[in-house]
């Protein structure tokens, strides 16, 4: 019996050595054998540089004529947090989310609920690192982010069937979503937005920002108003998880409808459940292409303390992941996870783990339905 067990263990360990190791950032896909025959890349999930889910790093901003690996879905960090109205720190969100994703690796990411592995499907998924943004001038930084999106989404995709690469942005404060929406508009026209957040973020720049300057008016609470004014989004958009106080009781709601949104409030989940929330969101956006923006403050601070404008009474991580996975079937042209400010996290990295898994769910939606 013991001998059999030993044999099994032996077989298992030799099988483990044949795994083609994940495209970790530091090492290539090929195992590297030392002189004594040991595969030095084996079990090296945390080796090399930290990319999202140990994906290969591609220098997506490479200039004309430079050799570039092709991709279908690109992860880009947007280290920008000077558009916030409360605690700063989300400029380190991209690094934080990558840190929270260290455990995720292509060869062992089979979803227990769906049986799928997004990293071993048709899509070439890469991490492009962070967009180079100045931290001294918001206007310039956002133009740099616009340009980054344009360049990264403008390259030919790896797939010949679905020629436009899609982007998942790691924020960054929520202002960064504006650049992403400008980019999806360029390729796909007006999109419906599913906006997971505790706050409305459709505030008129004259209301939030005090109207003191144009510069002040472009911030993480007004970007959806601006996106509406620029004609980037459809009037079939929806908020999910709203619970933060309003600035003007009637004015905020009127303005929100004018910007094209319907509100699903945080406590609606107690009445209609996860399935009810999914139905509402799907019915709202079903006839259009969809952009999903996840402000991590949609979660309760118990599950995501590391954010700038935390609001109590939010959803659990499990509820959010179930709702996201329930959106399967929609045509997702872009997505983001924003407002992750690692400095406020705890040693268990609760927020970072949650944000990393939200990105994983978003990848699942994108891989499931390719978009032409
Ligand atoms: C990328 O394109 C190449 C060439 O068409 C193809 O062999 C490869 O399978 C593609 N990558 C993925 C992940 O499908
Ligand atoms: C929504 O937009 C469509 C066209 O884009 C328009 O026909 C419709 O009247 C709008 N609905 C509302 C409620 O504004
Ligand atoms: Mn927000």
Q: List the chain domain ranges.
A: 52-368
More confident call, 195 vs 8: 195
Closest residue by Cα to residue 148 from 233, 62, 57: 62
Residue 107: CB atoms within 10 A of its CB come to 15
Point out the least confidently predicted range of 3-7, 126-130, 324-328: 3-7
Confidence of residue 68 (pLDDT cuts 50, 70, 90): confident
For the chain, the helix, strand and coil percentages under 3-state DSSP, each to the nearest 5:
40, 15, 45
* CB-ligand 1 contact for 215 (6 Å cutoff): no
The CATH number assigned to the domain with range 52-368 reads 3.40.800.10
Flag whether pLDDT at 42 surpasses 80: no
Between helix 317-326 and helix 268-285 the angle, nearest 10°, is 30
- The finding on whether 179 has its CB within 6 A of some atom of ligand 1 is no
CA distances (Å), origin 52, targets 15, 58, 128:
27, 12, 9
Predicted confidence (pLDDT) per residue in 146-173, tens digit: 999 999 999 999 999 999 999 999 999 9
Q: Do the Cβ atoms of 169 and 218 come closer than 8 Å?
A: no
Alpha-carbon 60 to chain mean position: 17
Ligand 1 atom with minimal separation from the 125 CA: 13
Of the candidates 119, 113, 115, 117, which has an alpha carbon nearest to the alpha carbon of residue 318? 113
pLDDT at 21 over 80: no
Instruction: Say what the pLDDT of residue 165 is.
Output: 98
Which is it for the CA torsion 178, 183, 185, 191, positive or negative?
Answer: negative
pLDDT for the residue numbered 111: 95
pTM of the model: 0.91
> Which DSSP state fits 248?
S
Q: Which residue has the higher pLDDT, 276 or 29?
A: 276
CA–CA gap between residue 242 and residue 248 (Å, rounded): 15
Q: Say yes or no: CB of residue 72 within 6 Å of ligand 1.
A: no
The predicted structure's pLDDT at residue 4: 52
**How far apart (Å, rounded) are the C-alpha atoms in residues 166 and 7?**
47
Average pLDDT, integer, range 251-260: 97
Pocket test for ligand 1, best of 74, 123, 158, 161 (most atoms within 8 A of CB): 158
Q: Please determine, for residue 27, whether its predicted confidence score (pLDDT) is greater than 80.
A: no
Ligand 1: does its nearest atom lie under 6 Å from the Cβ of 124? Answer: yes
Report how far residue 329's alpha carbon sits from residue 331's, in angstroms, rounded to the nearest whole number.
7
In tens, the pLDDT along 189-209 reads: 999 999 999 999 999 999 998
Do you know the residue count of the chain?
372
Residue nearest to atom 11 of ligand 1 (CA): 124
Whose CA is closest to 100, among 180, 23, 46, 57?
46
pLDDT (tens digit per residue) in 297-313: 999 999 999 999 999 99
User: With a 6 A CB cut-off, is 158 part of the ligand 1 pocket?
Assistant: yes
- Report how far residue 198's alpha carbon sits from residue 344's, in angstroms, rounded to the nearest whole number: 18
Least confident of 6-10, 73-77, 94-98, 290-294: 6-10
Q: Residues 267, 271, 275, CA angle at the centre, nearest 5°? A: 100
- pLDDT score of 3: 54
Give the atom of ligand 1 at the shortest distance from the alpha carbon of 124: 13
Please give the annotated binding residues for Mn(2+), written as ranges.
174, 197, 199, 201, 295, 297
State pLDDT tens for residues 325-353: 999 999 999 999 999 999 999 999 999 99
370 φ, ψ to 5°?
-65, 155
Q: Is the pLDDT reported for residue 26 higher than 50?
A: no
Query: Is pLDDT above 80 for 2?
Result: no
- Ligand 1 atom nearest the C-alpha of 121 is 13
Q: Report the alpha-carbon distance of residue 368 to residue 75 in Å, rounded.
A: 17
């Amino acid at each position: 019996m013991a001998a059999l067990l030993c044999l099994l263990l032996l077989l298992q360990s030799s099988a483990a050595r044949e795994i083609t190791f994940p495209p970790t950032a530091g090492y290539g896909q090929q195992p590297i054998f030392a002189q004594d025959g040991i595969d030095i890349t084996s079990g090296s999930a945390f080796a090399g540089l930290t990319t999202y889910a140990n994906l290969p790093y591609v220098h997506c901003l490479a200039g004309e004529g430079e050799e570039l690996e092709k991709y279908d879905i690109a992860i880009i960090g947007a280290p920008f947090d000077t558009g916030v109205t409360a605690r700063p720190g989300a400029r380190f969100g991209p690094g934080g989310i990558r840190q929270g994703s260290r455990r995720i690796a292509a060869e062992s990411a089979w979803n227990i609920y769906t049986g799928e592995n997004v990293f071993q499907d048709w899509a070439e998924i890469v991490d492009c690192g962070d967009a180079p943004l100045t931290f001294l001038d918001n206007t310039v930084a956002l133009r740099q982010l616009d340009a980054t999106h344009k360049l990264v989404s403008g390259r030919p995709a790896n797939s010949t069937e679905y020629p436009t690469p899609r982007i998942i942005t790691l924020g960054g404060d929520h202002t960064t979503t504006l650049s992403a929406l400008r980019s999806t508009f360029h390729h796909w026209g007006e999109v419906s937005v599913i906006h997971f957040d505790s706050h409305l973020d459709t505030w008129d720049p004259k209301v939030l920002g005090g109207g003191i300057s144009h510069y002040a008016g472009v911030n993480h609470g007004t970007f959806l108003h601006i996106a509406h004014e620029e004609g980037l989004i459809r009037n079939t958009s929806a908020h999910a998880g709203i619970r933060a106080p309003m600035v003007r009781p009637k004015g905020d709601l009127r303005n929100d409808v004018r910007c094209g949104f319907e509100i699903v409030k945080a406590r609606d989940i107690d009445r209609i459940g996860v399935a009810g929330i999914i139905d509402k969101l799907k019915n709202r956006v079903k006839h259009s292409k969809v952009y999903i923006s996840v402000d991590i403050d949609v979660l309760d601070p118990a599950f995501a303390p590391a954010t700038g404008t935390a609001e109590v009474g939010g959803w659990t991580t499990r509820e959010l992941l179930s709702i996201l996975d329930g959106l399967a079937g929609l045509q997702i042209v872009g997505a983001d996870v924003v407002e992750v400010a690692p400095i406020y996290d705890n040693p268990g990295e609760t927020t970072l783990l949650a944000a990393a898994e939200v990105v994983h769910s978003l990848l699942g939606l994108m891989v499931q339905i390719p978009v032409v």
